[in-house]
Amino acid sequence: MQANNLSLWLALKFVPRLAIHKKIALVQEFGIQKLFTTKKSRSVLTTSHGISTKQLAAFEAPDWTKINSVIEQSKRCNSELIAYEDEYYPQQLKQIYDPPLILFIQGNKKLLNKAQLAIVGSRNASVEAREISFILAKELSRAGIVVTSGLALGVDAAAHKGTLAVIEATIAVVATGLDSVYPSRHKKLVQDILMQHGVIVSEFVPGTKARAGHFPKRNRIISGLSLGVLVVEATIKSGSLITARCAIEQNREVFAIPSSINNAQAKGCHWLIKQGAKLVEGFADIMEELNLVGVSGLHLAVERQDQQKPQQIINNVENKKNPQKDLCEDALLASVGFEITPVDRVVSRSKLPVEEVLTRLTVLELSGLVSAVPGGYLRVK
């Protein structure tokens, strides 16, 4: 693609208050060059396409200073621009109603056209949800499916890390310009993704900071790139349900992981299943639904992480005003799931000595926060 074409696509991106699908229709009718260089085309814009005076001015006199600045800023943050007509632009994304005219990318652009599955979920995810995301991402990556997610805390990060754990490449779609990382604690994760031939994707120009309205736009790209979306854990008001809704609108598959009825963090997944999402108990469920070959007899089994040296026992400071609140915020409590959790898994997650784990589990049980059941413990609240 010619360099001046890239500038023209940027100019088209900056035409104000004109829907993306209308911009693409104009390019298909006139061609990107004629759209900006032929007076006859511009006269037709006003008479046949309802282009406003302000929009017409953006076609007649693009802000080349702004456009060149974006290109230069992109170079400075080691990112590349891929326009809608570029050979590397993801074909799957072209199928959606409002595909970005320009993608800003860092890393391996060839990855964009490979078969992908999105894994999304709560930022404040439970230990169980993070483990499931990590393991499913590993299984999918080993099967040749690229895992795509949003670089957020919780489920997203676990999915990216699961792929990296088996030395495969992953795609992170972000809601900021590529000159910054959000959340900032994921700078190392971004480096690891790029080192492992993955790719970071954004539709936002350099200098764009994180804003609430940007995340739904990012979510439509996550689902648009993918064959389907797997929601691991989500509340009813979770942004992950926006991604699932985008997937439905884009005619993509939607998958959801079930959990205990007592787990408020999973209510969104249960709602999706009621609406017809595929209930996923294991990796094979996804591959079967997507009709992908090469997988049989595989199931989801939460693997034990290597147990690290136990931390020193930290004496809890008693909160005389509200001791129950201290218990609810106990890190060890977070290691007990709403499903039966064996003691050895609590030990592995909390990285505490077995003796302390057993003592503190007894305290939590007496406080009504966990329940002892055959096979381990179950979180009650």
pLDDT, average across residues 55-83: 95
Which pLDDT belongs to residue 40? 62
Which residue matches tokens 């026992």? 313
Nearest to 219 by CA among 128, 140, 121: 121
323: cis peptide before it, omega within 30°? no
Spatial distance between the Cα atoms of 29 and 45, rounded to a whole number of angstroms: 11
Whether the per-residue pLDDT at 327 is higher than 70: the answer is: no
Residue 178 or residue 315, greater confidence:
178
- CATH assignment of 109-289, among 3.30.429.10, 3.40.50.450, 1.10.3720.10, 3.40.190.10: 3.40.50.450
The half-sphere exposure of 129 on its side-chain side, counting CA atoms within 13 A, is 31
Please state the domain extents for the chain: 1-62, 109-289, 323-379
Spatial distance between the Cα atoms of 315 and 312, rounded to a whole number of angstroms: 9
Spatial distance between the Cα atoms of 66 and 69, rounded to a whole number of angstroms: 5
Question: Can you say how many angstroms the Cα of residue 318 is from the centroid of all Cα atoms in its chain?
Answer: 39
Confidence of residue 338 (pLDDT cuts 50, 70, 90): confident
- CATH assignment of 323-379, among 1.10.10, 1.20.140, 3.30.160, 2.40.10: 1.10.10
**Structure-token pair, residue 89:** 């632009």
pLDDT, average across residues 293-313: 33
Which pLDDT belongs to residue 356? 82
**Structure-token pair, residue 191:** 């480096």
Whether the per-residue pLDDT at 127 is higher than 60: the answer is: yes
Longest CA–CA span in the chain (Å) reads 82
**Structure-token pair, residue 58:** 């953006």
Spatial distance between the Cα atoms of 341 and 352, rounded to a whole number of angstroms: 15
Spatial distance between the Cα atoms of 6 and 74, rounded to a whole number of angstroms: 13
Count of CB atoms situated within 10 Å of the CB of 262: 12
Contacts of residue 366, Cβ cutoff 8 Å, sequence gap at least 6: none
Exposed, middle or buried: residue 291 (CB in 10 Å: 0-12, 13-18, 19+)? exposed
Question: Can you say how many angstroms the Cα of residue 233 is from the centroid of all Cα atoms in its chain?
Answer: 13
14-58 per-position pLDDT tens digit = 999 999 999 999 999 989 998 887 776 667 787 778 888 899 889
Which pLDDT belongs to residue 317? 28
Nearest to 26 by CA among 84, 82, 70: 84
Whether the per-residue pLDDT at 320 is higher than 90: the answer is: no
DSSP track, 355-377: HHHHHHHHHHHHTTSEEEETTEE
Spatial distance between the Cα atoms of 20 and 101, rounded to a whole number of angstroms: 7
Mean pLDDT of the chain: 86
DSSP track, 118-178: EEE--TT--HHHHHHHHHHHHHHHHTTPEEEE---TTHHHHHHHHHHHTT--EEEE-SS-T
Whether the per-residue pLDDT at 273 is higher than 70: the answer is: yes
DSSP track, 166-194: TT--EEEE-SS-TTS-SSGGGHHHHHHHH
Amino acid at residue number 179:
D
Whether the per-residue pLDDT at 91 is higher than 50: the answer is: yes
Confidence of residue 322 (pLDDT cuts 50, 70, 90): very low
DSSP track, 237-268: T-THHHHHHHHHHTT-EEEE----TT-GGGHH
